[in-house]
Amino acid sequence: MGMNFLIDRGEGALQSSESLSGERFRLSLERIGMMAEEECTAACCVPFFRSAAEWILLLLDHRRMLEDGSFETMPLRDLEEKNRALYEDILPEHYEESWANPGYAIRETGEEMGPLLSALMTELRSMISLVYEGDAERFLIRMELLLEVYFAFVTAWNDERADEEAQGEQPEPQGQDSCIGRDKGDLLTGKAGQGMPPAGHIRDKIRQFLEDYAEEETLVRVRRSLVGGSVPEKIINEWYVPGDPRCLYRYGAYISENERGVFSYLESLDEETVAGMVDTWTEGFRIGFEVTGKDLSIRKRAGLIYPVGFERVVRRAAQNLRGTGLEPVIAGQLGNLFTQHLGRGGGGILTTPANKQYGYDHREDLALFFNDVLRSRRSQALQQAYRELADQTVLYAGPAVMETFGEKPFSPVMHEGYPRFSKSQQKKIARFRQEADLLYDRAVIGRERSFTIIAFPIPEITKGYEGKEPDASFDEIFHAVIDINTLDYVTYRDVQARIIDVLDTARSVRVLGRGKNRTDLTVRLQTPQDPSRQTIFENCVADVNIPVGEVFTTPALEGTNGLLHVTKVYLEGLLFEDLAIRFEDGRIADYSCGGFPTAEEGRKYIEENILFHHETLPMGECAIGTNTTACVLAEKLGFLERLPILIAEKTGPHFAVGDTCYSHEEENRVYNPDGKEIFAKENEYSLLRETDPDKAYFGCHTDITIPYEEVGLLAAVRADGTQIPIISEGRFVLPGTELLNEPFA
């Protein structure tokens, strides 16, 4: 493939963009063409830069396809192959030899340089969305970053050869061993030499890139998340054609059998079924404003966050929102180094990951570059973006979120030497997330916004794992979930009111496990100031949190003690086995989980995925799930273990660690259907929001559910020590709740 062909190919691919058809782009692409052919770096790094150059050219091919009209006429099979080519190197069967795999990069270029090059390749992979969004300038700056890193390697290689010639030595020939050269130890530690610059030099270049473009990148993220203007909006409003899956490939996202299968399935449903799904979702959003007394009429936009493949459903949802005076905002793919650990306000389209291990390996790439200067730049960039868009962000009503579930559970492989936040970085990133959340809350006036969330299965749910296979078809499972999501809220409202009446007389809740479950927990309840007009627990029906089926409260921290244990639970798609968390005065004091070679690895897993690097977290929620129908249907059809937290939390008692359910909305007055006001919305941390806001919130909230079958006792305990059982041996025993046991029959 000649250099002139590469240049012609690139210019033709992006003629419509002034910045990418001008001199700046021409020079960059010309140099990338040379990178693809020359060998002016250490031999072990030549394959990296060639791979990176080929990647740029592949992306330009995709842009040309979008601009010259060939996308519209290309056979679907060809579109599928082109989509797969974008993700080929990170698919599990190829990942072991991908530069996007930190382990491979470390093996090839050393412990210090490897993670940096792999992080760079991952940032280059984020350019897929830029190509499909037609975002020329942001595409170009990443080309320039690649070239800047390449020039550093070329300079180091040339300098070393010049030194050798000056000393009368024969320059070392380029070959497979030339990176190792005379001292393999230098390569492994990332020291300069062997034609490689110091790893710190490359680290500084990427960090400088993150600092220099923080404002532009952050502004794009905020605008697309809260104001609009992305390609997915065009897909839903213009390009979706009923029955034609071509629109799936307009996103640039990875399209698997899940996306193709659910698209085909939804297209086959009758209009009444689709209308029921959508109306439940969008009505939940509207009712969320109604029950909390918020004025929806002052808002003009609402976010739609949805999985690719649900275009038919989302098109109708967009129409429903417009009927209430809201213009839908759909953010595209926003994942890159600029958005890692940026807090709330993101979100966009969802899709099946090409390789979950890839995402897990790179989840803390920012640790390679994060310091006080970058933290300050990110914070300033957020402040600037919200200031610039202040008159627009206040019009954002909140997101209507649709999630999917049913993927094979993921248990990641943890590797030493991959990017991880240090202890000092963990504290800084946690504090930054808190700052970012506060900025977001002020920008959208959080106390006046709302949300709703619903979930549906994907075809992968019918595929077995670990010798288990659901005994039902996708159609049976999907309709079961529709039934779960549309249960009669009046029935649950009345039963849950009976439970709340008893809990309002209690000082604490006692929970004991049974069988292998070792839970022994006492949760202290708050005491209302006026029991005749106030209540401790919220009666949750189907509005913001679909489906129906829970009562919940913010517990008092002092006096909340004991062990929370679950034999197996999936949290955000991650498997936790034998999870145990011990509380002292409402705060996590100790924790462990199985499934790892050592106890320390289990602790690290919890630190990263439940604690999110906080030293401790409070218990932010105590709840009782009442949706026994969801539990029984999921068990009967064989997908109980694959339920998302959204539904799983309704299938037993659950306890959340992190912020309360009323985070950033403590001053909003909330009432149960019986007219009583919710009293227990605060705890010792959220009370600091005015005097010490950095300590008020944690930016996380993780629900951990104990299945009914593992509950020996859940009882309301009064001040005199009297226990009133609500659940005993996995069944509801409180008078007035017997109908909740009917699904078990």
The pLDDT tens digits of the residues spanning 189-235 come to 433 456 799 999 999 999 999 999 999 999 999 999 999 989 999 99
Task: Identify each DSSP E strand in 137-194 by its residue range.
Answer: none
CA distance linking residue 45 with residue 98, whole number of Å: 13
Beta bridge partners of 522: 510, 561
Report CA dihedral (55, 57, 63, 66) to the nearest 10 degrees. Answer: -100
Amino acid in position 509:
V
Q: Give pLDDT tens digits for 654-663.
A: 999 999 998 8
The answer to whether the beta carbons of residues 463 and 408 sit under 8 Å apart is: yes
What is the Cα Rg of the chain in Å? 27
| Residue (of 662, 697, 698) closest to 682 by Cα position | 662
Can you read off the two tokens belonging to residue 677? Answer: 């006001």
Which residues on adjacent β-strands are paired with residue 580?
A: 565, 592
DSSP secondary structure of 467-524: TB--SS-HHHHHHHHHHHHT--HHHHHHHHHHHHHHHTT-SEEEEEE-TT---EEEEE
Output the pTM of the full model: 0.87
**SS3 label, residue 465:** strand
Q: What is the pLDDT of residue 720?
A: 96
Q: Cis omega before residue 307 (within 30°)?
A: no
How many Cβ atoms are within 10 Å of 287's Cβ, its own excluded? 17
Q: Is 272 exposed, middle or buried (0-12, 13-18, 19+ CB in 10 A)?
A: exposed
Instruction: Report the distance separating Cα 307 and Cα 314, nearest Å.
Output: 9
Please choose, from the candidates 256, 454, 249, the residue with its C-alpha nearest in 3D space to the C-alpha of residue 351: 256
| Strand, coil or helix: 362 | coil
Helices and strands in the chain, H and E counts: 26, 19
Q: Are strands 520-524 and 508-513 parallel, antiparallel or unpaired?
A: antiparallel
- Contacts of residue 366, defined as CB under 8 A and 6 or more positions apart, other chains included, come to 337, 340, 341, 419, 421, 429
Q: Which residues of the chain have pLDDT under 50?
A: 1-21, 175-192
| Whole-number Å distance between alpha carbons of 304 and 243 | 22
How crowded is the C-beta side of 262, counted as CA atoms within 13 Å?
Answer: 31
CA within 13 Å, CB half, 180? 6
525 Cβ contact list (under 8 Å, min separation 6) = 503, 506, 507, 508, 509, 536, 553, 555, 556, 622, 680
Tokens of 68: 């010259």
